[in-house]
Amino acid sequence: MLRAIDRQRDFYAGGVMILVGAVAGYVATTYDLGSLADMGPGFFPLVLSVLIAGLGVAIVAGAGRAPGPEVAGPMAHAHRTGADLRGWIAIFSGVVAFIVLANYGGMAPATFACVFVAAMGDRRNGWKISALLALGVTIFAVLVLALGLRVQMPILKGWF
Amino acid sequence: MLWTSFADLAHGFEVALQPHNLLYCLIGVLIGNLVGVLPGMGVLSAVSILLPLTFGMKPVAAILMISGIFYGAQYGGAICSILLNLPSHPPHAVTCLDGYPLTQQGKGGVALGVTMMGAVFGAAFGILQMMFLAPYIAKVAFSFQAAEICSLMLLGLLAGSTLAKGSPLKGVAMTAFGMLLGLVGTDTATSVERYTFGRFELADGIELVALALGLFGIAEFLRGVNNVAPVNTGYTKLRFRDMRPSKAEMKEAAFPILRGTLVGSLCSLIPGTGPVIASFIAYATEKKVSKTPEKFGHGAIAGVAAPEASTHSSIQGDFIPTMSLGIPGDAAMALLLGALIIHNVTPGPRLIVEHPDIFWGLIASFWIGNLILVFLNVPMIGVWVRLLTVPYRYLYPTALFFICIGVFATRNSLFDVGVTLAIGLFGYLLLLLRFEPAPMLLGFVLGPRFEENFRRALKIAQGDLTTFVDRPISAFFLAICLLLVGVQIVARIRKTRAPVRLASTAFD
């Protein structure tokens, strides 16, 4: 799938913009447009939506033409774009875990879960290292953020 | 004029030297330096993470600290480029070309020493430029009305989105998309809720912090995880005394530093051309005027000195349009502008007059901060070098947590954390499709103000669009806009987008 995106990247890029423009434009027409002298809330969003969709069309139109070879600069080895399902799932779940546990558990469990889950996304991190890192960050969070800066979140819901 | 500047600066030093302001300036540059050194951490994400912590602070202290992060990161970024060949900070990418060969030849310390000299000289020049130019520009802009402000913003937005790296078409699309995101929430003029989809949490709009951390935090981590190469620590044993350049090397660096500084200060005056382009042009210029161009790429001192000096002079110069016109040139300055707005300081030409504490305090803190940075980096280089070896696999989970808690703390809302995640996922898709996220932030910050002025200008003109060309100053800005677009189109046809294109491809 990623290779296909690579080949036809601009085609998809323009497509996404056309979609964004179309949806935003449709929503904009449900607001009052007003006139040039007295613009309603829908006027400016509609202008922007049309612009975005138009640019999307232009990007698609340019997609067929050769974009020139990718120049491998010093950045090339620092950021390769490769599929990494394990990393993606871990980062996504880390944030979700934070939201859920912050709601039901408090800062300490939320912090631990977020860091632990996210850290497990890196192939070189085992569960021991991840747990240790998570514990360190949790202690920091409780001492500095909860007790020091008084972030408005209970440390452990129902207890502190 | 000259004397009032010095009197104002003296007042600025009074502000900046107040113990708590000094402390926050120190914290800012320290964090900046740290972020610059850590491979894989961006300065934009660092600022966004820390932004919520500044909400409780006085505006002056908050602005000093945030600015400190920006220029502090430039000092750290150079270390990363020269010793590790890792351009994690785009303005320093070009420094890798000659900095790393020098390191391989055992002269990494010298390269860093020369960088420090260039940094101090460049920064000093940039600050002086801001001191004398910004109040003058603000005075000129005093008479601007809605139509002029509108055209000027359009110029800023166009320049910021077309001159930066990547395809100009995609850049403009991102800017417009950012402006659209900026409109989410209650319309100030009519109290109609736009794009909130019935969620009351969105009635106040999307949080700047949520957008910035989604784009520059979560999206970047999704790209970086298991993809950031482990750091080569072979050259990280470096001590203070290795940093002293010899007399011959100092001589070799002197003129490149001067030329680099001038290039940087010129670039900072052209909207949209920030430090990245400045550093690249400085390098190209140096190569052109050099008597030994073949040495470039194999450890030429000039190839380190010139781009570093230009980066630092243009970073300081970048503050000029932000502070004097309220129009940021790039995403970093857009964040700073956002911070000003959050602290109820209205950016624009009146800022210098209405908030002399902020403007002159900021300038004084630049002097102090750069001085602190030299002390931080020269004698303590060993500490920073050791930090280079902190692996990415420990960094990103920790940073991810700080993103979550930072967004939450902005207005104690877990809903915003979810918004950040959604923006992060969509931002990653955009990254895969080779969109640059930076112009989006620019559009987001300027979007609502653009709409407001656009409305006001047309209300005054009773719906007559010619008001934008009838007013001479506004027409002038629009003409530059046209020129900008025209040059892009011509260049596209010719397929030789000179230095800008080179800059964008070389760093990608």
Could you report the per-residue pLDDT of B341-376, keeping only the tens digit for each?
888 888 888 898 899 999 999 999 999 999 999 988
Residue B495's pLDDT is what?
60
Rounded Cα–Cα distance for residues B306 and B125 (Å): 14
pLDDT at residue B506 is higher than 60: no
| pLDDT band of B218, cuts 50, 70, 90 | very high
Q: Summarize the confidence of residues B416-425 as an average pLDDT.
A: 95
CA pair distance B407, B339, nearest whole angstrom: 14
Which residues of chain A have a pLDDT value below 70? 1-7, 64-83, 160
B453-492 pLDDT tens trace: 999 999 999 988 888 999 999 999 999 999 988 888 887 7
Average pLDDT of span B329-346: 87
Q: What is the DSSP letter of B185?
A: E
Q: Which residues of chain A make contact with B228, given a CB cutoff of 8 A? A: 78-79
Q: Does A143 touch chain B (CB under 8 A)?
A: no
State the amino acid at position B1 in one-letter form: M
CB count in 10 Å sphere of residue B231: 19
- Residue-wise pLDDT for B223-272, tens only, equals 888 887 776 666 667 777 777 888 888 888 899 999 999 999 988 877 66
Comparing B224 with B304, the larger pLDDT belongs to B304
Compute the C-alpha angle B430/B88/B105, nearest 5°. 145
Mean pLDDT score of chain B: 86
Cβ of B97 and A74 within 8 Å? yes
Q: B122 or B233: which carries more pLDDT confidence?
A: B122
At residue B3, the pLDDT reads 76
Coil, helix or strand at residue A39: strand
Which pLDDT does position A83 carry in this prediction?
63
Test the A interface: residue of B400, B465, B493, B501 with most A CBs within 10 Å: B400
pTM of the model: 0.84
A82–chain B nearest CA distance, Å: 7
Q: How far apart are CA B449 and CA B451, in angstroms?
A: 5
Contact B183, B194 (CB under 8 A): yes
Give residue A140's pLDDT. Answer: 92
The reported pLDDT for the residue numbered A160 is 66
Q: What is the pLDDT of residues B148-181, one digit of tens each?
A: 989 989 988 888 887 766 788 899 999 999 999 9
B489 or B40, greater pLDDT: B489
Q: Which of B154, B172, B74, B93 is nearest to B436 (CA)?
A: B172
In 3D space, the residue among A42, A5, A19, A62 whose CA is nearest the CA of residue B177 turns out to be A19
- Tell me the pLDDT band of B507, cut-offs 50, 70 and 90: very low
- Which SS3 state, helix, strand or coil, does residue A106 take? coil
Among B109-113, B337-341, B384-388, B495-499, the minimum mean pLDDT is found in: B495-499
Residue B338, CB-side half-sphere exposure with 13 Å CA sphere: 29
Find the mean pLDDT for residues B302-321. 91
- Cα separation, B118 vs B98, in Å, equals 15
Nearest Cα of chain A lies from the Cα of B359 at a distance, in angstroms, of 28
Q: Residue B182's pLDDT band (boundaries 50, 70, 90)? A: very high
pLDDT for the residue numbered B242? 76
- Residue B304 reports pLDDT greater than 50: yes
Predicted pLDDT at B209? 87
Is the pLDDT assigned to residue B508 strictly greater than 50?
A: no
Q: Are B468 and B478 in contact (CB under 8 A)?
A: yes
Provide the shortest C-alpha distance from residue A44 to chain B (in Å). 7
Biggest alpha carbon–alpha carbon distance for chain A = 65
Phi-psi bin for B497: left (phi > 0), alpha (psi -120 to 50), beta? beta
pLDDT band at B214 (very low <50, low <70, confident <90, very high): very high
- C-alpha separations of A68 from A11, A64, A73, A154, B78 in Å: 16, 12, 14, 55, 30
In terms of Cβ atoms closer than 10 Å to its own Cβ (0-12, 13-18, 19+), residue B499 is middle
Q: Which amino acid is at A8?
A: Q
Residue B410 confidence (pLDDT): 83
Angle between helices B19-37 and B59-84 (to 10 degrees): 30
- Structural domain boundaries in chain A: 2-63, 85-148
Burial B248-262 (b: 16+ CB within 10 A, else e): ebbebbbebbbbbbb
B458-467 as b/e: b if 16+ CB within 10 A: beebeeeeeb
**Using CB atoms and an 8 Å cut-off, which of residues 41-100 of chain A contact chain B?**
41-42, 44-45, 48-49, 51-52, 55-56, 58-59, 62, 68, 70-71, 73-82, 84, 86-88, 90-92, 94-96, 98-99
Distances (CA, A) of B439 to B179, B361, B420: 10, 29, 18
Question: Nearest CA to CA, how far is A149 from chain B (Å)?
Answer: 8
Ordered DSSP codes for B389-454: T--HHHHHHHHHHHHHHHHHHHHT-HHHHHHHHHHHHHHHHHHHTT--SHHHHHHHHHHHHHHHHH
State the pLDDT at residue B379: 82
Looking at residues B32-42, what average pLDDT do you find? 81
Question: Which pLDDT does position B40 carry in this prediction?
Answer: 67
Q: Can you give the pLDDT at residue A77?
A: 38
Q: Write the DSSP symbol of residue B183.
A: H
